[in-house]
A and B are shown apart, each in its own frame.
Chain A
Amino acid sequence: MTSAITRGPIQVDGEVFSNKRAGAYQHLTLVADGIAERTRPGNFVALAVGGATSANLLRRSFSIYRVRPAGVYGGTVEIVFAAHGAGTQWLADRQPHDAINVVGPLGRPFALPKEPVACALVGGGYGSAPLFALAEKLRERSCAVHMVLGASTESRLFGALEARRAAQSVTVTTLDGSVGIKGLVTDPLPALMARHSIEVVYSCGPMGMLAAATRVATDQGAWSQTAVEEAMACGIGVCMTCVLPVVGDDGVTRMLRSCVEGPVFAGDKVRWDAVGTIPAGTFGAPEVSRQ
């Protein structure tokens, strides 16, 4: 039972506990009371960057890698990210005890199977981060967990070692062949699914990867759960920027907010080919103009 106190997002001033390199990525641990108790795998946090007078107003959203409830240091929340712009670079430069404002946990978590079925967890780059907490939850339900981690090159893999503890089998792919199988993360997926009778495919990473993972899952009659990455301004559902076309149970396509109606969607409901457009027939789409 979830009590009223531990539901929904909160806003807290977090404090950097540690901020370390992890291959090509940055692994940030924040002391942020109250987040851990509310978090479920697939949730994300939105961090303010640059301080109170920052010229970078928009929060940066990150999947939650791991949480620890309050102990000696207070509750912590961990994220993994790549420093590729002004905001993420600011985050990468934070030192222990620096303050970072946190809003979270946000978004819908991964749906968990009711039966102890075999699951494949597919992560691209640092997209693997939220899959470890998911693996733990699945194991608690006696689900077999098989992880497939892929990246462009070895330094961009995240958690390959940890995956050995988290999963029954681990498959690694890199585009350049620097480690594991050379190719895309979804290349070994069909054989893996057949071998282990996978019934659910969870994936997190770039849009193209999620589309491919969904295609493989659907071809083999498995469920797919995808955690999407859409550009967000607010993360809390008020700005309407992070929408993508998703088909409802009624067969109608709607532009849904990935921050509150996602970031986890059933993969077969997302119109991957139409992301970035308003496909014809979408609920509320403008009528084709009469020439």
Chain B
Amino acid sequence: MAAGLRPQDVDLTTVLADSRLANPVMTASGCAAAGQELQQFFDVSDLGAVVTKSIMRDVRSGRATPRMAETPSGMLNSIGLQGPGVNAFLARDLPWLLQHDARPIVSIAGSSLGEYAELARRVGNTPGVAAIEVNISCPNVEDRGLVFACHPVQAGRVLSVVRRDTPRGLPVFAKLSPDVTSIVDIARSVVEAGADGLVLINTLLGLNIDFTTMRPKLGGVTGGLSGPAVRPVAVRAVWQVANALPGIPLIGVGGIRTGADALEFLVAGASAVQVGTAIFNDPNAPVRVLSELRTELAAHGFARARDAVGYANRPALEGVMAQ
């Protein structure tokens, strides 16, 4: 590691499944809509990529309110994937991202294998898409509402149809749920099915009570927990999967609020990171995290962001000999 590095000299480029990004910081799906609102605060082309809110085949109204509850260092949400459907997204939102020189990673969500396949074809064949992120945390209507992400076989089936129907050369990333007994088993299954990389983690399922009604606070009853409260869970997931599946590109997400948080994910094994809930606190969070990450990398002697990836996983002896 080099001493006396200046932040501006740090090489931030990162490589994810053969695609090179100018820097490792992205938005997290569901926390940045399709980029337009954030453009009021910073230039979305400054980010490594913009990950869109999950797109479904059809227009969707989402769940009833209340959809949100603040929790210690985090929040619960039960939005229910409100969105315009793939036609409107491809006609309106994706062109906007491309006109603004953003690198769009399009998150897709389906409630059946057929819907995933259709979305993969529609999105994958649209020029300008940088990658597809597969949100497998929605209930599977064909399997009595069970969530794809919680079953190695089901999760693998989704990734296999998406990979089959996505043009060769366009990376497909699977976003995994931490609410499983062994995230490594799910990771292995989706990688064997063709996922080019993994996004770790989606929200954790939570619930809180409203004392005025003495009932669950959220209209959707349960909600996804996000924010700094979940960060150690996400770092743990990245660490475990990085150790079990070396060489598979990982994108870390969960509670990143500062550049130091982002560095923690890189060092645990992620090649890129996503900033989500922190955007609600600070609309400039993605570019602030990027700038702080640059400073953190320099301060810790990493001349290249790539050198930090998985550094915490290095063999014990190497650390001793470097002294």
Give residues in A with beta carbon < 8 Å to B: 8-11, 48, 54-59, 101, 103, 230-231, 233-234, 236-244, 254-255, 260, 275-278, 282-286
User: Are A57's CB and B219's CB within 8 A?
Assistant: no
User: Are A57's CB and B280's CB within 8 A?
Assistant: yes
Bound: A80/B118 CA distance, A: 51
User: Are A231's CB and B280's CB within 8 A?
Assistant: no
Give residues in B with beta carbon < 8 Å to A: 31-33, 37-38, 40-41, 53, 58-68, 70, 72-75, 77, 79, 82-83, 85, 219, 227-228, 277-284
Q: Which residues of B contact A236 (CB under 8 A)?
A: 37-38, 40-41, 283
User: Are B279's CB and A234's CB within 8 A?
Assistant: yes
Contact of B66 among A231, A240, A255, A284 (CB under 8 A): A231
Q: Which residues of B contact A284 (CB under 8 A)?
A: 58-62, 82-83, 85
- CB of A241, distance to nearest CB on chain B (Å): 4
Known: A238-B38, A283-B61, A284-B60. A57 touches B67 (CB 8 A): no
Q: Which residues of B contact A283 (CB under 8 A)?
A: 59, 61
Q: Which residues of B contact A56 (CB under 8 A)?
A: 70
Residue of B nearest to A57 (CB): B281
14 contacts between A and B (CB under 8 A): A57-B73, A57-B74, A57-B227, A57-B277, A59-B281, A231-B66, A233-B75, A233-B77, A236-B283, A239-B79, A240-B33, A241-B66, A241-B77, A276-B65
Bound: A243/B81 CA distance, A: 13
User: Are B61's CB and A237's CB within 8 A?
Assistant: no
- CB of A103, distance to nearest CB on chain B (Å): 6
- CB of B36, distance to nearest CB on chain A (Å): 8
User: Are B219's CB and A276's CB within 8 A?
Assistant: yes
Q: How many A-B residue pairs have CB under 8 A?
A: 111
Bound: A236/B279 CA distance, A: 10
Bound: A284/B81 CA distance, A: 11
Residue of B nearest to A282 (CB): B61
Q: Which residues of B contact A277 (CB under 8 A)?
A: 64
Known: A56-B70, A276-B65. A237 touches B33 (CB 8 A): yes
User: Are A11's CB and B284's CB within 8 A?
Assistant: yes
Residue in A57, A278, A286 whose Cβ sees the most chain B Cβ within 10 Å: A57
- CB of B73, distance to nearest CB on chain A (Å): 4
Known: A276-B65, A278-B63. A237 touches B58 (CB 8 A): no
User: Are A234's CB and B65's CB within 8 A?
Assistant: no
* Dominant SS among interface residues on chain B: loop
Q: Which residues of A contact B41 (CB under 8 A)?
A: 9-11, 236
Q: Which residues of A contact B75 (CB under 8 A)?
A: 57-58, 233
Residue in B37, B65, B82 whose Cβ sees the most chain A Cβ within 10 Å: B65
Residue in B33, B38, B279, B280 whose Cβ sees the most chain A Cβ within 10 Å: B280
Bound: A103/B279 CA distance, A: 12
User: Are B67's CB and A240's CB within 8 A?
Assistant: yes
Bound: A101/B82 CA distance, A: 29
Q: Which residues of B contact A233 (CB under 8 A)?
A: 68, 70, 75, 77, 280
- CB of A34, distance to nearest CB on chain B (Å): 13
Known: A230-B65, A243-B62. A103 touches B283 (CB 8 A): yes
- CB of A219, distance to nearest CB on chain B (Å): 28
Q: Which residues of B contact A241 (CB under 8 A)?
A: 65-68, 77, 79
Contact of A276 among B31, B64, B279 (CB under 8 A): B64
Q: Which residues of B contact A55 (CB under 8 A)?
A: 72-73
Knowing that A56-B70, A241-B66, A243-B82 are A-B contacts, what are 18 other residue pairs whose CB atoms are under 8 Å apart, sorted by A's residue number?
A: A9-B41, A11-B41, A11-B283, A48-B281, A57-B73, A57-B74, A57-B75, A233-B280, A236-B38, A238-B280, A239-B79, A240-B67, A254-B61, A255-B82, A278-B61, A283-B61, A284-B82, A286-B61
Q: Which residues of B contact A260 (CB under 8 A)?
A: 37
Bound: A242/B66 CA distance, A: 8
Known: A237-B33, A284-B58, A284-B85. A244 touches B281 (CB 8 A): no
- CB of A204, distance to nearest CB on chain B (Å): 19
Bound: A276/B63 CA distance, A: 9
Q: Which residues of A contact B83 (CB under 8 A)?
A: 284
Contact of B40 among A9, A278, A285 (CB under 8 A): A9
Residue of A nearest to B81 (CB): A240
Contact of A238 among B33, B63, B228, B284 (CB under 8 A): B33
Known: A57-B74, A278-B63. A240 touches B79 (CB 8 A): yes
Bound: A255/B79 CA distance, A: 11
Bound: A210/B62 CA distance, A: 24
Residue of B nearest to A244 (CB): B65
Bound: A237/B40 CA distance, A: 11
Q: Which residues of B contact A231 (CB under 8 A)?
A: 65-66, 68
Q: Which residues of A contact B73 (CB under 8 A)?
A: 55, 57
Bound: A9/B284 CA distance, A: 12
Bound: A237/B39 CA distance, A: 12
Residue of A nearest to B78 (CB): A241
- CB of B204, distance to nearest CB on chain A (Å): 16
User: Are A238's CB and B227's CB within 8 A?
Assistant: no
User: Are B70's CB and A238's CB within 8 A?
Assistant: no
